[in-house]
């Protein structure tokens, strides 16, 4: 009976992409060039490549396994000391990671391969393997020992008896046999004597054993490497059948040396080597498509919490069902109290379950941050700049839907900071700054939002140049604009101050896309800059796109939801607190501080039941830009609401961020406080 492996392809792709990300992050760490302390890291990279190569053939991606074989061979020579890890080798390995990622994406999306780039990288790897590694005494000694330990052709007898539970761990003997076949000529004898009758056979159990004879230039360490993932799940015996025992012991020593290397994944660092522009954009788009895969990894504790909460819901439901079976004639005050208690418990369980489900969707923002070191490295090298990248708050959790849409805006901001903000080393020295600029990216929770800051210590924005460019393009700029208004001009579609067009900038496409994408996920972009000292761009985002704590308010016959995180206070104003400013509308005197008064009935053209200002309610709200007092007819209640997209189901409405369905079935609109304060 054949096994359909297509159901496992998605898992293979996800694990392979994670392995490639791990390889990339380890290679980007400059410490890996230090041969005295890079052993574990090289072995970690090798294991990732080995796993991708071994799995690729099993799942029908033989061309990936064939390409990865050369990468694995180069890594094996580096980890065994036959060849040092030079800067050229590191750059080539990073290029190979890009090619493997491109091949996997092409296979997944059924898109065409860039065969020219793949072949170019393959030839570069082959050329490096054929070249002399240079003066390396330790490598020469190791190579000499291996030559004396193993003849040009060796013969090995292997008895491989997997445990019944081998398949349950995701391992496949066919992959192991395929790996051995690459080492030489392989003769296979299968023992199926343990197979039960068909009616008694368990398809998830392994009943077969193998006796193998391998002939080729392989050491015992290389043979054992094929079984390194299943050593604790099988009985294994490896014997050389063409050499004295002393030689075998030396090979055993080599095997022990190889198996003593344990993989340990260190945290990604930053900076070095060459390629931006179109290659970087292609890699970013590919990563964005990968993010859209419909899966997410969840900690076991979160699943356990969900199971417990579902159990609590079942108990609450049983309690209410018991009360519901009570005859109407027997329903008294005691039953009524039990009903209230049951409903209160059900409400509590539902809220806890809701929060737990939202927690499942929360993933660390490092999901996006982890790709930035490579981006910074390549751009800095291309532009001839030195940049130190500082990442803070990588463990900050954010809704998966938000994070997936954050990658593109963040990439644009980083590119702009390096291209337009940070100066070249000589210019920085003349300005009394360190040669290397600092790009700092920080994520943190702030109230009901998450705040992401991208700041640099570069030249800052040039106010006069931006205003001149705006005048040249005929943009509508207010008289004597504030710095904040000037900085926002760079988000105008097509706006660019670049003197020449390059692969990185100058086409006027960038910051307008950033703002649009951020606003699409209910966020806001703030820009602050000090000439000569740098620029800080701040993204404010909601923690989740699904649930909102809000205050329901009434205007005429309509109900609106005001996000609770935006509300400062509510009050019933007096007539002498309200003033009219010619041409600017009304303001509310709030303990000596004047804030704009925004009447929702005027904004949305609704009839109001409150003719006099003192008859209504003012809800004072705060946005990223300013404060405002929203004038409404009545406050109703505070509750959680489920956010539904108004744009998807209707169209975009200024001042409205979404909609929700109330308990009585009515639709209520959710106010966009930031947009309302900007509009008025």
Average pLDDT of the chain to the nearest whole number: 79
Among the residue ranges 3-17, 106-120, 276-290, the one predicted with the least confidence is 276-290
Q: C-alpha dihedral over 651, 656, 657, 663, to 10 degrees?
A: -100
246 domain-assigned: yes
For residue 276, name the pLDDT band (cuts at 50, 70, 90).
Answer: very low
Domain boundary among 522, 544, 566: 544
| 264 within domain boundaries | no
* CATH number of the domain that residue 115 is part of: 1.20.120.160
Nearest CA-CA partner of 572 in 625, 613, 608:
613
350 and 452 together in one domain: yes
Q: Which residue has the higher pLDDT, 18 or 561?
A: 561
Residues 53 and 112 in one domain: yes
Same domain membership, residue 347 and residue 217: no
Residues 598 and 555 in one domain: yes
Note down the domain range covering 576: 547-679
The verdict on 347 and 477 lying in the same domain is: yes
User: Are 507 and 589 part of one and the same domain?
Assistant: no
- Domain for residue 265, yes or no? no
Alpha-carbon distance of 213 to 223, in angstroms, equals 11
Judge if 580 and 529 occupy the same domain: no
**Residue 188, Cα to own-chain centre: how many angstroms?**
44
Closest listed residue to residue 379, CA positions, set 513, 283, 487: 283
Kindly state whether residues 456 and 500 are assigned to the same domain: yes
Q: What average pLDDT score do residues 613-639 get?
A: 87
Q: Is residue 434 part of a domain?
A: yes
Q: Domain of 436: which CATH number?
A: 3.30.565.10
| Domain total in the chain | 4
Q: Is residue 490 part of a domain?
A: yes
Last residue of a domain, one of 544, 566, 594: 544
Higher-confidence residue: 250 or 659? Answer: 659
User: For the residues of 38-74, what is the DSSP string, one character each?
Assistant: -HHHHHHHHHHHHHHHHHHHHTT-HHHHHHHHHHHHH
Does some domain include residue 297?
yes
Q: What is the CATH number of the domain that holds 650?
A: 2.40.50.180
| SS3 label, residue 257 | helix
Say if residue 543's pLDDT is above 80: no
Asked whether residue 154 falls in the same domain as residue 252, the answer is: yes
Residue at 570 is within a domain:
yes
Residues 198 and 127 in one domain: no
Residue 635 in domain: yes
Region 171-197: mean pLDDT is 85
Q: Say if residues 398 and 541 touch (Cβ distance below 8 Å).
A: yes
One domain, residues 305 and 175? no
Report the 10 Å Cβ neighbour count for 161.
15
pTM of full prediction above 0.75: no
Query: What are the residue ranges of helices labelled H in 497-599?
Result: 511-520
Residue 390 pLDDT = 93
Read off the pLDDT of residues 370-383 as tens digits, 9 standing for 90 and up. 888 888 988 898 88
Task: Say yes or no: 561 and 636 in one domain.
Answer: yes
Q: Are 629 and 640 in contact (CB under 8 A)?
A: no
Which of 228, 259, 290 corresponds to the end of one domain?
259
Structure confidence at residue 663 (pLDDT): 78
For residue 238, the domain's CATH number is 3.30.70.260
DSSP 661: E
Among 70-84, 232-246, 431-445, the least confident range: 232-246
């Amino acid at each position: 009976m054949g096994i359909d492996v297509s159901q496992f392809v998605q898992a293979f792709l996800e694990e392979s992409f994670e392995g490639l990300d791990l390889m990339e992050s380890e290679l980007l760490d400059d410490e890996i060039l230090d041969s005295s302390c890079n052993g574990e890291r090289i072995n970690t990279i090798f294991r990732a490549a080995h796993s991708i190569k071994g799995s690729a053939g099993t799942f029908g991606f033989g061309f990936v396994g064939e390409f990865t074989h050369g990468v694995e061979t180069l890594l094996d020579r580096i980890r065994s000391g036959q060849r040092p890890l030079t800067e050229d080798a590191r750059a080539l390995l990073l290029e190979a990671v890009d090619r493997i990622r491109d091949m996997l994406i092409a296979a997944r999306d059924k898109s065409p391969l860039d065969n020219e780039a793949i072949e170019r990288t393959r030839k570069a790897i082959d050329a490096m393997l054929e070249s002399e590694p240079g003066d390396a005494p330790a490598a020469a000694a190791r190579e000499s020992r291996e030559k004396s330990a193993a003849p040009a052709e060796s013969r090995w007898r292997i008895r491989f008896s997997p445990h019944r539970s081998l398949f349950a761990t995701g391992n496949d003997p066919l992959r192991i046999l395929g790996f051995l076949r690459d080492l030489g000529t392989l003769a296979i004898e299968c023992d199926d004597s343990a197979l039960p009758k068909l009616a008694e056979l368990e398809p998830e159990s392994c009943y077969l054993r193998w006796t193998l004879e391998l002939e080729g230039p392989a050491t015992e360490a290389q043979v054992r490497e094929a079984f390194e993932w299943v050593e604790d799940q099988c009985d294994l015996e490896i014997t050389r059948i063409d050499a004295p025992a002393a030689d075998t012991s030396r090979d055993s020593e080599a095997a022990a040396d190889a198996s003593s290397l344990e993989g340990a994944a260190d945290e990604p660092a930053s900076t070095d080597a060459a390629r931006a522009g179109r290659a970087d954009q292609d890699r970013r788009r590919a990563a964005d498509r990968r993010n859209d895969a419909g899966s997410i990894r969840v900690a076991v504790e979160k699943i356990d919490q969900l199971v417990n909460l579902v159990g609590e819901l079942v108990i609450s439901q049983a309690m209410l069902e018991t009360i519901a079976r009570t005859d109407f004639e027997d329903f008294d005050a005691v039953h009524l109290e039990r009903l209230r208690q049951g409903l209160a418990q059900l409400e509590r369980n539902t809220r806890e379950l809701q929060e737990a489900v939202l927690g499942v969707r929360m993933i660390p923002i490092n999901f996006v941050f982890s790709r930035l070191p490579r981006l910074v490295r390549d751009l800095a090298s291309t532009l001839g700049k030195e940049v130190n990248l500082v990442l803070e708050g990588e463990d900050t959790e954010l809704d998966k839907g938000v994070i997936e849409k954050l990658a593109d805006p963040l990439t644009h901001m980083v590119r702009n900071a390096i291209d337009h903000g940070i100066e070249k080393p000589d210019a920085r020295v003349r300005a009394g700054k360190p040669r290397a600029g600092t790009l700092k990216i920080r994520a943190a929770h702030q109230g009901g939002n998450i705040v992401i800051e991208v700041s640099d210590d570069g030249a800052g924005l040039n106010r006069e140049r931006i205003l001149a460019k705006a005048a040249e393009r005929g943009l509508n700029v207010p008289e004597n604009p504030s710095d904040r208004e000037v900085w926002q001009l760079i988000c105008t579609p097509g706006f660019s101050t670049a003197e020449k067009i390059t692969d990185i900038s100058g086409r006027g496409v960038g910051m307008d896309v950033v703002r649009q994408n951020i606003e699409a996920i209910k966020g806001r972009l703030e820009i602050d800059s000090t000439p000569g000292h740098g620029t800080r761009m701040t993204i404010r985002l909601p923690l989740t796109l699904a649930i909102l704590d809000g205050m329901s308010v009434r205007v005429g016959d309509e109900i609106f939801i005001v996000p609770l995180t935006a509300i400062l206070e509510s009050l019933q104003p007096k007539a002498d607190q309200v003033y009219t400013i010619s041409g600017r509308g009304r303001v509310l005197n709030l303990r000596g501080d004047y804030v704009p008064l925004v009447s929702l009935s005027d904004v949305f053209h609704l009839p109001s039941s409150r003719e006099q200002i003192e008859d209504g309610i003012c809800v004072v709200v705060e946005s990223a830009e300013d404060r405002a007092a929203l004038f409404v007819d009545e406050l109703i209640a505070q509750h959680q609401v489920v956010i539904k997209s108004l744009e998807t189901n209707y169209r975009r409405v200024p001042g409205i961020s979404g909609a929700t369905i109330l308990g009585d079935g009515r639709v209520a609109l959710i106010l966009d406080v930031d947009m309302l304060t900007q509009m008025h």
